[in-house]
Amino acid sequence: MRIEFCSTCGAPLEARWSKIVIECRYCGAQSTPGEEGAPVPSSIPDDGRLRIAVSGRTYLILGQLAHGDSSDVYFARWVRRLGELVVVKCLRCPSDSDLMRREHAFLERLRHSPATGTERFAARIPEPIALSPVRVRGQERMIAVRRWRSGFLHSLEEVRRQHPRGVEPGVAIWTFKRLLEVLDWSHRSGVVHGAVLPPHVLIHPRDHGAMLVGWSTAGAWSRDARRGLIAISREWESWYPSRNGIGPEHDIAMAARCVLWMSGATSFNEPGRLPPGLAELLFRASSGGYDEAGKTIEQVSKRSLEDLGQPAYCPLAMPGWSI
Ligand SMILES: Nc1ncnc2c1ncn2[C@@H]1O[C@H](COP(=O)(O)OP(=O)(O)OP(=O)(O)O)[C@@H](O)[C@H]1O
Ligand SMILES: [Mg+2]
């Protein structure tokens, strides 16, 4: 028995090694990795779609996920049989290679952090598989490959586009808590993210999940050694509370701004759909009033119990999800 994954809906496909055409039980799509009767090929047959070789593995590009500040981001699959799904981040300009190397280094550092919670929180940041310069159309471009995390499909930009008047307060609060948890671990590991912006927060609408990407301007941090940001996103310039001597309060403020924005606020001192008590807390966080993410979570939990009652399952409605 082998397990493959449906290229249409991602559900697991079970089939005997001898069987060539496999039908997805969930969506009915047929997977044909070879001709009927032919031996099962060891890799996806070349059908003309774009392939890219990075660090000895060839990836089939399945589609574009996003256009970032400095890179194009694709959804891809390692062509080998049972090859994993990945995210391929392809730098547009070679002069930004240092940023991509920096991101890779900080992701590795966090994945190996001795801080409590690494096993749990490493799953909330991209997992690096490879980083290498690749020749694309005659030009050398730095390419990073990361493991695909199923379900983390929507950035907060898409959430806001889908809910222009703001999400329910319960959704805003679980998003804030998930962000604070990953920031708390990152700060305890001596790393500040620096750019907690809507395009860098990926939401799992059903599982109350949030993942933090875009670590290229992350920096080392300790109580007595604070550094400035090495770059900022022009498009989101007004979202950075500070550029020098940044520490945990900077990340917490940016996370709070994201949460106000997803709640429908058009400025960082408007509540959107948040009830007054929680909105006050968010305003304070957004102006740098909290410098410990762990303690901020406690405050958020206390306040949301008062304003919203006991925590409840509160999925986010997004296209493509039946919840
Ligand atoms: N691991 C991932 N899984 C799914 N989507 C991702 C992932 N990483 C990035 N993306 C998508 O690609 C977009 C751009 O990614 P990212 O912000 O990392 O690139 P960038 O803006 O070019 O570089 P950086 O922000 O690191 O300077 C994100 O906003 C997100 O939508
Ligand atoms: Mg980015």
How far, in Å, CA of 13 to CA of 25, rounded? Answer: 8
Domain C-terminal end among 150, 183, 203: 150
Least-confidence region, from 32-41, 191-200, 235-244, 274-283: 32-41
Ligand 1 contacts CB of residue 153 (under 6 A): no
Domain C-terminal end among 150, 176, 194: 150
Kindly identify the ligand whose nearest atom is closest to the C-alpha of 65: 1
Q: What is the pLDDT of residue 31?
A: 65
Kindly state whether residue 262 falls inside one of the protein's structural domains: yes
Kindly state whether residue 203 falls inside one of the protein's structural domains: yes
129 CA from centroid of ligand 1 (Å): 15
CATH of the domain at 256: 1.10.510.10
Kindly state whether residue 4 falls inside one of the protein's structural domains: yes
Kindly state whether residue 208 falls inside one of the protein's structural domains: yes
Ligand 1 contacts CB of residue 198 (under 6 A): no
Q: Which atom of ligand 1 is nearest to the CA of 146?
A: 1
Closest CA to 277 of 184, 179, 169, 174: 169
DSSP lists the bridge partners of residue 227 as: 246
Kindly state whether residue 321 falls inside one of the protein's structural domains: no
Kindly identify the ligand whose nearest atom is closest to the C-alpha of 103: 1
Kindly state whether residue 42 falls inside one of the protein's structural domains: no
User: Residue 25 burial by CB count (10 A; 0-12/13-18/19+): exposed, middle or buried?
Assistant: exposed
Higher pLDDT, residue 66 or 3: 66
pLDDT digits (tens, 9 = 90+) for 4-54: 677 777 777 766 544 555 667 777 666 665 555 555 667 787 888 889 999
Q: What is the pLDDT of residue 17?
A: 46
Q: What angle do CA 158, 11, 123 make, to 5 degrees?
A: 60
Ligand 1 contacts CB of residue 128 (under 6 A): no
Residues 161 and 300 in one domain: yes
- Percent of the chain at pLDDT exceeding 90: 76
Residues 57 and 9 in one domain: no
User: Which of 64, 71, 102, 232 is the best mutation target for the ligand 1 pocket, counting ligand atoms within 8 Å of the beta carbon and taking the most?
Assistant: 71
Task: Tell the residue nearest (CA) to atom 20 of ligand 1.
Answer: 68
Ligand 1 contacts CB of residue 146 (under 6 A): yes
Kindly state whether residue 174 falls inside one of the protein's structural domains: yes
Ligand 1 contacts CB of residue 86 (under 6 A): no
What value does the mean pLDDT of the chain take? 91
Q: What is the pLDDT of residue 18?
A: 44
9 CA from centroid of ligand 1 (Å): 22
pLDDT digits (tens, 9 = 90+) for 126-161: 999 999 999 877 888 999 999 999 999 899 999 999
Dihedral angle computed from the Cα positions of residues 151, 155, 158 and 159, in that order, rounded to the nearest 10 degrees: 80
Residues 167 and 290 in one domain: yes
89 CA from centroid of ligand 2 (Å): 11
Residue 287 clears pLDDT 90, i.e. is over it: yes
Total domains in the chain come to: 3
Q: What is the pLDDT of residue 56?
A: 92
Q: Which atom of ligand 1 is nearest to the CA of 155?
A: 31
Residues 158 and 303 in one domain: yes
The boundaries of the domain holding residue 69 are: 49-150
Task: Tell the residue nearest (CA) to atom 16 of ligand 1.
Answer: 214
Domain C-terminal end among 101, 126, 150: 150
Structure letter (DSSP) for residue 222: B
User: Which of 65, 69, 73, 212 is the best mutation target for the ligand 1 pocket, counting ligand atoms within 8 Å of the beta carbon and taking the most?
Assistant: 73
Ligand 1 contacts CB of residue 196 (under 6 A): no
Q: Where are the beta strands (DSSP E) in 68-171?
A: 71-78, 85-91, 128-136, 139-147, 154-155
How far, in Å, CA of 258 to CA of 235, rounded? Answer: 15
Ligand 1 contacts CB of residue 70 (under 6 A): yes
Residues 87 and 218 in one domain: no
Kindly state whether residue 274 falls inside one of the protein's structural domains: yes
Least-confidence region, from 77-81, 116-120, 243-247, 266-270: 77-81
Residues 198 and 262 in one domain: yes
CATH of the domain at 78: 3.30.200.20
Ligand 1 contacts CB of residue 88 (under 6 A): no
